[in-house]
Structure 1
Amino acid sequence: MEPNLDKAVDPMPTPRRRTVLAGAAALAAPLLVGGIGATPAQATPKGRRRRHGKRSVLQIAEQGVFAAGGTVQQTPGTFDPINGQMAPAGQTRHSDHASVFYQVPIRDNGHAMQFLHGYGQSRNGWMTTPDGRPGFSDLFLAKGYSVYLADQPRRGQAGQTSVAATIDVTPDDQTWFTQFRMGLWPNFAAGLKFPTDADSLDQFFRQMTPNTGPFDVDVITDAMVASLEESGPATLVTHSQGGIPGWFIAMASKNVEGVIAIEPGSFVFPEGQVPPAIETGYAPVQGSAVSAKEFRRLTRMPIAVYFGDFIPAKPSEVPAWDFWRGVLELAYRFADVVNAHGGDATVVHLPKVGITGNEHFMFQDTNNAQVANHMARWMRRKKLS
């Protein structure tokens, strides 16, 4: 069913300085890191304390940041630090790696989760919400999971690239408002669980960040496989465009023990079994082929594919919404093929399980804890906790 439209966006939000605290620092007072007590409460914006009340305590045993994977380029010649410091001869460039922030809770359940963002996003999207509530990383830390949050190569904190690209500065906020099914600008969808105040929408638009180099599935896959070598066995959680390399990461790494794909951008099928393209008003939706041997690896792990609300059941005149109709249909075909090959794949369409009002960013919506609880129950059933 297409969304009804509710209140309009305030086009001129009141400017306000805000501080976004990542991970447990946003929750813990005191925060225990490696056994050393700290009290970061003074860094928490007062407005957020007033809006969201008393915070619970998260105890962190270990946290840090590391680079995973990547390449090293080197120009011919010998570097001369005296006469040729700015010359290219003999110089190296480390690039195309992922940047991974991780936290391990004291009450560790023995399992990890690796998170990979979608288009125009970074790991920040998992760490908080536009209105300052706990994000998925904190919600799953509280459930005992170690969390590994990646900025994929050529994005965010992993911006060092080996291939140059032009960064487009054309205004496009309203494009993404529509693409992400928040409504039809300037009106929000009725019943939307995204925080619809002007300040939250401003924060959401400001979390977008560009590619510094071309999107490359192989480069991302290699970096994330390296990250999984650091984390050990983990459930891979992908979102949107991140779901495209997500299937290749799961096929390439022995450390992926389960996959939660949140509205992934595409799906893979065994050669000879790619279904016909699904025509939509936006673009044809079609899977890609991999070898039978590669695809077989996806049948050795449980897979859950999550979709939110506001996806039309019939062709829509809104191209972006019609696109998601095609993606959801392809998801069911993907699950059928995985299961026909002896795998364990399920599609969770949230409105069908009684969770409503979610658009493309279900992990940032006001009911994100409810969504996280549903995923946690799935992981418990699959022995991933």
Structure 2
Amino acid sequence: MTTTQPRTLTAPHVSHPAVHIRRGEFWVSAGAADKRWMSYVRWEAPGIETGKPAVVLVHGGGGQSLDWTLTPDGRPGWASVLVERGYPVYLPDRPGHGRSPYRPDVHGDRLPAASPAQMQTLFAPTEPDPRRRAHTQWPWSRNAGTPEFDALTASAQPMLHDLPTGHRLDSEMLSELLSQIGPSIVITHSAGAAAGWLSADQHPELVVAVVAIEPLGPPLRDLGDRGQLEFGLTAIPMNFVPKLDQALDEDNPPKLPGLSGVPVAIVTTDASGRYDADLATIRFLHRAGVKADHIYLPDHGLPGHGHGVIYERNSSDVLTIVQSWIEAATTSRPPDEGTTQ
């Protein structure tokens, strides 16, 4: 008879430092009476007021707010770390995603949730993909059937099929949330970027700064039957002056006066394959009069990250770089500064 040695287990709460926090949840809603829709929002804040602005974390396409709360292997995500550093954090589930109810008459058709193979292509490329060799900060297996990769895949949500509908609903959701909580820092990931651009464009008084982690792009990108980034960064109109479709003079491109007053940063990794797309986004913003900075992580001593940078090995160190930029940009930014690094 063989005996099995008992496993030594450590519950997650045992190894996590004690932090005094407040938390809650609520709903935001918008839309006409017969097509009113709701989005779920969770919030966490330090146990005492710190005077720091709130941070709204907007997840990417096919994601949910849980993307920000923990990593696939159970480490604290950006939301938890920000609270520990004194920031109140708001975590919306984008319309039709996560715990935000999906209504076909409001949201339209949805695409199937990403398969393990699609998640691998986006977040954990394997050989012979040329990104694999540079992608050194992915700390887990790259194959389905392992706990961390399966946890990542389990979080994948169906995306809305119609891009303009998704951008309109995202914008309405974030604008309503900001109207309730006041001026906030908005950090977006991937396809969640449109919500940040649109809200800052429409309500610059409510947006302290925008940080876009590898945003959907490049400008004018065609996504086939889903739609196109027809207005540069978004699939629905922004407040260009003059209107974008009237600006035929390449030497005098239309401007975004609302967004131009908001500090903006684009964060790019070196192993995702998105460098050129992010540079095109920055050029587009500069031409529109927006003082956008470029945070290229290898320039800050953090190479090897991919598109899932917000939960990879050095995720807290990446957040420290972002936090430093936010603090500098919102306290001592010269009026005419706008650089790429």
> What TM-score, normalized by structure 1, do the two folds share?
0.68
Deviations 1:315-365 (A, max 9, x none): xxxxxx4xx244123133135325xx3x43201111122111211111101
Partner of 2:207: 256
Structure 1 unaligned residues grouped into runs of 5+: 1-44, 75-92, 269-273, 279-283, 312-320
Q: Does 1:137 align with 2:79?
A: yes
* Contact 1:118/1:242 (8 A) holds in 2: yes
Deviations 1:134-184 (A, max 9, x none): 000011001100000010111111123233644555873212322336334
Pairwise mapping of residues 231-250 of structure 1 onto structure 2 (< 5 A)? 231-250=181-200
Match among 252, 258, 261 for residue 300 of structure 1? 261
* Contact 1:69/1:226 (8 A) holds in 2: yes
* Alpha-carbon distance in structure 2 between the residues aligned to 1:107 and 1:305: 31
Pairwise mapping of residues 173-322 of structure 1 onto structure 2 (< 5 A)? 173-180=116-123, 182-184=125-127, 189-190=132-133, 191-197=135-141, 198-211=146-159, 214=162, 215-253=165-203, 254-266=205-217, 287-288=232-233, 290=238, 291-292=240-241, 295-311=256-272, 321=273
Q: 1:72 to 1:65 in 2, by over 3 A?
A: farther
Letter in 2 for 1:310: A
* Alpha-carbon distance in structure 1 between the residues aligned to 2:286 and 2:14: 45
* Alpha-carbon distance in structure 1 between the residues aligned to 2:107 and 2:184: 32
* Alpha-carbon distance in structure 1 between the residues aligned to 2:309 and 2:60: 13
Q: Does 1:353 align with 2:296?
A: no
Match among 160, 163, 187 for residue 106 of structure 2? 163
Structure 2 unaligned residues grouped into runs of 5+: 1-7, 223-227, 243-254, 333-341
Letter in 1 for 2:280: L
Letter in 2 for 1:380: E
* Contact 1:68/1:227 (8 A) holds in 2: yes
* Contact 1:243/1:266 (8 A) holds in 2: no
Letter in 2 for 1:177: Q
Q: Does 1:63 align with 2:23?
A: yes
SS, match of residue 383 in structure 1: helix
* Contact 1:259/1:302 (8 A) holds in 2: yes
Please identify which structure carries the higher strand content: 1
* Alpha-carbon distance in structure 2 between the residues aligned to 1:227 and 1:123: 14
* Alpha-carbon distance in structure 2 between the residues aligned to 1:369 and 1:255: 26
Report the CA distance between 1:370 and its aligned residue.
0.3
Q: Does 1:337 align with 2:287?
A: yes
The 10-residue stretch of structure 1 (120-129 or 357-366) with the greater mean CA deviation from structure 2: 357-366
> What TM-score, normalized by structure 2, do the two folds share?
0.76
Pairwise mapping of residues 108-127 of structure 1 onto structure 2 (< 5 A)? 108-110=49-51, 111-127=53-69
* Alpha-carbon distance in structure 2 between the residues aligned to 1:344 and 1:126: 27
Q: 1:368 to 1:72 in 2, by over 3 A?
A: same
* Contact 1:192/1:357 (8 A) holds in 2: yes
Q: 1:344 to 1:106 in 2, by over 3 A?
A: farther
Letter in 1 for 2:88: S
* Alpha-carbon distance in structure 2 between the residues aligned to 1:261 and 1:171: 22
RMSD over aligned CA atoms reads 3.2
Partner of 2:321: 374
- Which structure's CA Rg is the greater one? 1
Q: 1:297 to 1:168 in 2, by over 3 A?
A: closer
Letter in 2 for 1:306: V
Q: 1:53 to 1:351 in 2, by over 3 A?
A: farther
The 10-residue stretch of structure 1 (239-248 or 176-185) with the greater mean CA deviation from structure 2: 176-185
